[in-house]
Amino acid sequence: MDEILTRAKKVAEQAEVFQVSSRRTPVHFEANRLKQIETKESTSLALRIMKGGRIGFSAAAGSIEPDALLNHAVDTAQFGMPARFDFPNPKAYPHIETFDPETEKVTIDNMVTLGERLIATVRELAPDILCDTSVTKGTISIRIANSQGGEASYDKSFFSLSLEGILIRDGDMLFVGDSQSSCHPLLDFKTIADEVTWQLDLAKREAAVSTGTMPIIFTPRGVASALIAPLILAFNGKMALDGASPLKDAQGKQLFDRKFSLWDNPLLPYQPASRPCDDEGVPSQQNSLIDNGVVSQFLYDLQTAALANTQSTGSGNRHGGLPSPSPSSLIIDEGDVSLEEMIKNMKHGLVIDQLIGAEQGNLFSGAFSGNVLLGYKVDEGEVVGRVKDTMVSGNIYQILKQLEAVGQEARWIGSFLRTPCLLCSGLSVATKTG
Amino acid sequence: MRNQVTDALKGQNADYIEVRLEQGLATRIAYRGERLEEIGTTTSLGGNVRALIKGGWGFVSFNRLEKLRDNIELAIRQARLVGREESNFSHTEPVVDLVAAETKNDPATIPLATKKQLLDEYNDIILRTPKIQTSSVNYHNSQRKVTFANSDGTYIEQNKVDIGLRLTAVARDNNEVQQVGLSLGSNGDFSAIEGLQDQVKEAAQRAVSLLSAPQAKGGEYTVILDPVLAGVFTHEAFGHLSESDFIYENQQMQEMMVLGRRFGGKHLNIVDGAAVPGLRGSYKYDDEGVPATTTYLIREGVLEGRLHSRETAAKMGEMLTGNARAINYLFPPIVRMTNTFIKPDSVTLEDMLSDIKEGIYVKDWYGGTTSLEMFTFSAGEAYMIRDGALAELLRPVVLTGNVFVTLDNIDAVGNDLQMNEGGGCGKGEQVPLPVSNGSPHIRIQRCLIGGG
C-alpha cells in the first residue's frame, strides 16, 4: 500500500490509497436444518489519483502488480472528471467504538446452537414453518492514506442474526422474518423470536379489505420497505446538485410534518454502520436531514461538496467504485404514541409490515406502489387478520407532510435504519375483488 | 494452473469438492448530467472451494491463491461440522474443456476514448431535450476467465464477456420529477449498444411527456404487456418459482408445483435455457460443470420442468438442467435462470386490442420482484386502452398479482417474440447476474394495478 502511494506521488499531483480487508464467517440454515458454513476472506485496494487536474481510478480485489494498478489509474485520468478538491490533510477523528474483541471469539459451535435454538423457538409456535437462518460473525479493517499526509485506519467487528420463515397452508404462502446486527456478539435471539412470534400471531386469520383510501400504520419494517428509498435519493448531495432531487431548493423549508425528524448518524457506538471517518478520510459527523419537518442538510462527499460550494458531510462511501454520498445509519426520532394506541384509535385501516416492489417506481417523485407481503387489517381498533392480494400506493412527500402520529418506540432495521412506527393517512389501497 | 489445481484436489476426503479460480477485468463509465462521475478499471483475482460431506457444505472464498490446499482443507473441516445425513448430488460426466468467449465486436479491443465518445453522444441527446433536468448513464464491460475443477475429474476454463448500458432521462417541471430508462446488454458484442440515438431521443421525450400525464386509477384491468415487460413478468412471476432450491426442501411447495399441474391455456409455453446461443444468459457449462440445456418450464399450459443444481436434481430425482450459477468467486453457485421466455403464438397486437373497452397497455420496465406467490413489476410506460384503441399516456404503473391466478388469466399470446438483454437478476446477495428474458405481446385479464 505504501509502495503504491510512493509510486503514485511520482506520476500524479495527488494520490490516495484505500484498502479493505475482511473476514466473514456465515453459518447458514436452510429449511430448518444446518446447511453450510462459510469462510470469506477478501482484500482489496483502490487507487485514486489527480493527474493533469483530472481524477483517475483503479481498484483491485486480490493481488495486483503496483505498476498495473497505477497504469490503469493513469489511463483513466486522461478522461476523468476535473478534480475540485484536495485529499484531506491529517485530521483529528472522533473516537467511535466499532470493535468488540468478543465477537471474533464466538465459536462456530456457539453460532450453530444459536441458529438451532432460534429456529426451535419459532417452530414451537408454527410447527410447519420452514426457516432459513443465517448467523454471521466477521471483522473488517480499513486503511486510507493520501499524498497530503492524511491517514486513517480502523477495525470493525460485526455480528448478525437473521431469520426468514415461510409457512404454506392450503396453497397460501405466509412470509415472516426479521434480522438484527451489531458490532457486539448477539447471543440473545429473543428480539427476533418475539418479532416473528408477533407476526405469526397477527397473521393467523385472514381479513378481506376493500379498494379505497385509508390510514396506514407502517411498522419499522414497513417504513424501511416503503418510505426510505426516495428519501435516501433526495438527500444525496449529487441529486440536489443536479436538480433531480425534489428537495433541491427546499433547504430551510417546512416540507414535512413537525413530528418528523431524520438524522444520519455514524457516531453511535457499536453500530455496524458507524465509523470514525468516511471512505475519503473525512471525519464522521452527525447530520440532521430533516429537523422537525424542516429540510436541513444534504449529504456530500468531497468532490460533490466542492461542486456545490459547500463542505463534505463525511458521507463519501464506496460501493466498489469512487466514493459517492450515502448515509451511514439513518435515525427517525421517536414520537409519543404507542403502536397499541395507534391501532386502538383506528376505525378502518391497515398495518403494513412489509411491502414488496415499493422501491421500483419513480423514486425521484416520491410515488410508491407495492404489494402487501405482510400486513394486517384493523377494524374498530383491533387487528382482525392478515390482508393479501392488496396493493398500497402513495407519495411519501404527501404522507410525510401530515403524519397522524409517530410511534414512541424505535427499533433497528438491519444496521441502516432506526425508526418508530408511523401512522399515515390518505393512502390508496387496491385489492382483487374476487 | 491445471496441475496446481488438480494436485491440490488429490488425496482429499469428501463426497465432492470443487475449486473455482477467477481472473477478471472490468471497466466502468458513469455520468450524472453533464458530469462524468466515474471512469475506472477494476481487476480481480480470487477463488473459492466448496466441499460436500454427508449432505453438509463448507465454502471458502479467498484472494490469496497460493494456499489452495489449506483452503480446501478448511472447506472440508467446515463441511464435516455440518454433514449429518447422506449427500445427494447428481452425477454428470466429467469433462475437460477450454471455452473461448464468443465475441463479435469485443469491448476489450475498443479504446476507452471510443466508448466515452459514444456515451457522450447519448448523454448529449438526453440533455439537449427541452425540460430534461438531468441524466444518468452507467456503462460497464467485463471479461472473466473462470477455471473450474472438481473431484470428479472435470476441468473447465471458460472465458466470459459481459456488456451493460443503462441510460436514464430525468425530466422536471417545478416539483414534478419523472424519469424514463433504457437498458441494454450483450454477452460479447459491443455493437449491441451502438446506434441507439433514435431510441435515446425518444426516451428523453417520453420522460418530458410524463410530466403532464395522469396517474392510472388503481384497480383491476385487462392489460396488454409489450414484449419487454412480458419478459420481465415471465422472469419474475414464473421463473423464480421454477428455481428448485425454493422447492426441494419444501413439501407443500412441491405439491403446489407438481409436474403436470395446469397453469394456463394451450397457448402458454415458457422456456429457460443457457443453451440458447448468443444471449446474456448463455454459456456452455454452469458453475458446477454441468452442460447447459434448454428446459421447457411450461408446455401447452402444463408444468413440465424446473431449474436444477446438482443437489436439487438429485433430491427431487429429476434431470440436470445446468442452472447452478454464481455471480463471482465470492459466492457458491445457486439455482438461477439464464434466458427465460414465453414462446410466440399467433395473435396480433391489433386483435388483442380490438375487444378491450377499457384497459391499460404497459410497456418497458423499471424492475420487478417476487415473493414466489406474489409478484410486482413496474412498467416504464403505460397508456389507457379505450374502445379497442390506444388512448392517453399514463404515469408509470405497478402491476401485481398472484402467479397461480395470473398465468391462467393470460388469454392471448402474440406472434412477435423479442428478447431483452438489459439489467440483471438478483437473488439473495448475488446481484446482478447477467440474464435475458423475452416474450411476445401478451394479454392478461383482471390484472391488479396500483393507483395514485
Structure-derived torsion over alpha carbons of residues B315, B260, B348, B406, reported in degrees to the nearest 10? -80
Residues A119 and A191 in one domain: yes
In A, minimum Cα distance to B66 occurs at A63
Judged by average pLDDT, the poorest of A104-108, B116-120, B213-217, B302-306 is: B213-217
Interface contact B378, partner A, CB < 8 A: yes
**Final residue before a domain boundary, out of A139, A172, A199:** A199
Q: Considering only CB atoms, which chain B residues are within 8 Å of A34?
A: 56, 82, 84
Please give the pLDDT value at position A433.
Answer: 61
Pairing status of strand B56-62 against strand B302-303: unpaired
In A, minimum Cα distance to B51 occurs at A36
Substitution target from B18, B52, B448 for chain A, most A beta carbons within 10 A:
B448
Averaged over B133-161, what is the pLDDT? Answer: 96
Q: How far apart are CA B61 and CA B56, in angstroms?
A: 17
Residues A70 and A6 in one domain: yes
Residues A166 and A251 in one domain: no
Averaged over B224-242, what is the pLDDT? Answer: 93
Residue A230 vs residues A150, A223, A227, A315, B208: alpha-carbon distances, Å: 34, 12, 7, 17, 20
Task: Please give the backbone phi and psi of residue A319, each rounded to the nearest 5 degrees, phi first.
Answer: -125, 55
Does residue B432 have a cis peptide bond before it, meaning omega lies within 30 degrees of 0? Answer: yes
Residues A411 and A317 in one domain: yes
Residues B354 and B376 in one domain: yes
Contact B32 A61 (CB under 8 A): no
Residues B190 and B242 in one domain: no
Contact B42 A371 (CB under 8 A): no
The tens digit of pLDDT for each residue in B410-423 reads 999 999 999 999 88
Smallest CA-to-CA distance from B32 within A307, A134, A56 is with A307
Chain A residues 107-146 with a CB less than 8 Å from chain B: 108, 112, 128, 130
Interface contact B44, partner A, CB < 8 A: yes
Residue A330 vs residues A195, A233, A318, A326, A415: alpha-carbon distances, Å: 21, 13, 17, 10, 9
Question: What percentage of residues in chain B have a pLDDT greater than 70?
Answer: 100
Cβ atoms A407, A421 nearer than 8 A: yes
**Final residue before a domain boundary, out of B210, B227, B262:** B210
Residues B139 and B245 in one domain: no
Residues facing B414 on adjacent strands: B347
Q: What is the pLDDT along chain A (434 residues), one digit of tens a residue?
A: 889 999 999 999 999 999 999 999 999 999 999 999 999 999 999 999 999 999 999 999 999 999 999 999 999 999 999 999 999 999 999 999 999 999 999 999 999 999 999 999 999 999 999 999 999 999 999 999 999 999 999 999 999 999 999 999 887 899 999 999 999 999 999 999 999 999 999 999 999 998 999 999 999 999 999 999 999 999 999 999 988 899 999 999 999 999 999 999 999 999 999 999 999 999 999 999 999 999 999 999 999 999 999 999 999 999 989 999 999 999 999 999 999 999 999 999 999 999 998 887 778 889 898 999 999 999 999 999 999 989 999 999 999 999 999 999 999 998 999 999 999 999 999 987 64
The tens digit of pLDDT for each residue in B164-209 reads 999 999 999 987 889 999 999 999 999 999 999 999 999 999 999 9
**Final residue before a domain boundary, out of A150, A181, A199:** A199
Averaged over B13-23, what is the pLDDT? Answer: 97
Residues A189 and A215 in one domain: no
Which among A356, A361, A430 is the nearest to B366, CB-wise? A361
Interface contact A43, partner B, CB < 8 A: yes
Cβ atoms B366, A357 nearer than 8 A: no
**Final residue before a domain boundary, out of B166, B185, B210:** B210
Residues A266 and A324 in one domain: yes
Smallest CA-to-CA distance from B449 within B393, B404, B384 is with B384
Please give the pLDDT value at position B374.
Answer: 86
Residues B29 and B173 in one domain: yes
Q: How confident is the model at residue B451 (pLDDT cuts 50, 70, 90)?
A: low
Interface contact A391, partner B, CB < 8 A: yes
Interface contact B191, partner A, CB < 8 A: no
Please give the pLDDT value at position B174.
Answer: 83
Instruction: Give the ipTM.
Output: 0.94
Substitution target from B88, B119, B179, B374 for chain A, most A beta carbons within 10 A:
B374
Which among B79, B172, B398 is the nearest to A360, CB-wise? B398
Residue B266 vs residues B58, B184, B395, B410: alpha-carbon distances, Å: 44, 32, 34, 11
* Average pLDDT score, chain B: 95
Interface contact A373, partner B, CB < 8 A: yes
Interface contact B1, partner A, CB < 8 A: no
Residues A251 and A140 in one domain: no
Is B452's pLDDT higher than 70?
no
Q: How far apart are CA A375 and CA A41, in angstroms?
A: 39
Contact B45 A57 (CB under 8 A): no
Residues B205 and B239 in one domain: no
Residues A249 and A171 in one domain: no
CB atoms within 10 A of CB A177: 22
Residues B369 and B440 in one domain: yes
Interface contact B367, partner A, CB < 8 A: yes
R_g of chain B computed on alpha carbons: 23
Interface contact B64, partner A, CB < 8 A: yes
Q: Considering only CB atoms, which chain B residues are within 8 Å of A44?
A: 63
Q: How far apart are CA A239 and CA B165, in angstroms?
A: 20
Chain A residues 263-322 with a CB less than 8 Å from chain B: 307, 320-322
Q: Considering only CB atoms, which chain A residues are within 8 Å of B208?
A: none
User: What DSSP letter does each residue of A387-408 carry, written as one string?
Assistant: --SEEEEEEHHHHTTS-SEEBS
Say how many domains are in chain A. Answer: 2
Contact A173 B64 (CB under 8 A): no
Chain A residues 402-431 with a CB less than 8 Å from chain B: 428-431
CB atoms within 10 A of CB B229: 29
Start-to-end CA span in chain A (Å): 64
Which among A38, A320, A430 is the nearest to B219, CB-wise? A430
Contact B218 A242 (CB under 8 A): no
Residues A183 and A227 in one domain: no
Residues B191 and B257 in one domain: no
Cβ atoms A55, A322 nearer than 8 A: yes
Cβ atoms B360, B366 nearer than 8 A: no
In B, minimum Cα distance to A359 occurs at B367
Please give the pLDDT value at position B424.
Answer: 86
**Matching residue, cell 377494524:** A379
Residues A400 and A293 in one domain: yes
What stretches of B187-259 adopt beta strand conformation (E)?
A: 219-225
Q: How far apart are CA B131 and CA B149, in angstroms?
A: 55
Q: Considering only CB atoms, which chain B residues are within 8 Å of A75?
A: 41, 112
Is B34's pLDDT higher than 60?
yes
Residues A257 and A137 in one domain: no
User: What DSSP letter does each residue of A166-201 carry, written as one string?
Assistant: EEEETTEEEEEEEEEEESS-----HHHHHHHHHHHH
How many A/B residue pairs have CB atoms within 8 Å? 253
In A, minimum Cα distance to B120 occurs at A79
Residues B131 and B228 in one domain: no
Residues A163 and A312 in one domain: no
Chain B residues 154-173 with a CB less than 8 Å from chain A: 170, 172
Residues B137 and B276 in one domain: no
B277 CA to chain A: closest CA distance, Å?
30
Chain B residues 277-306 with a CB less than 8 Å from chain A: none
CB atoms within 10 A of CB B73: 18
Interface contact B54, partner A, CB < 8 A: no
Residues B202 and B225 in one domain: no
Which among B62, B396, B450 is the nearest to A391, CB-wise? B450
Interface contact B82, partner A, CB < 8 A: yes
The residue type of B381 is E
Range of the domain at A91: 2-199
Contact A38 B332 (CB under 8 A): yes
Q: How far apart are CA B158 and CA B292, in angstroms?
A: 13
Q: Considering only CB atoms, which chain B residues are within 8 Å of A362?
A: 177-179, 366, 395-396
- Domain CATH for B200: 3.30.2290.10
Exposure pattern of B26-58 as b/e (b: 16+ CB <10 Å)? bbbbbbbbebbbbbbbbbbbbbbbbbbbebbbb
Range of the domain at B427: 219-449
Contact A37 B256 (CB under 8 A): no
Residues B337 and B236 in one domain: yes
Contact B56 A362 (CB under 8 A): no
**Matching residue, cell 466515474:** B38
Q: How confident is the model at residue B19 (pLDDT cuts 50, 70, 90)?
A: very high
Substitution target from A25, A38, A81, A225 for chain B, most B beta carbons within 10 A:
A38
Say how many domains are in chain B. Answer: 2
Residues B29 and B167 in one domain: yes
Is B343's pLDDT higher than 80?
yes
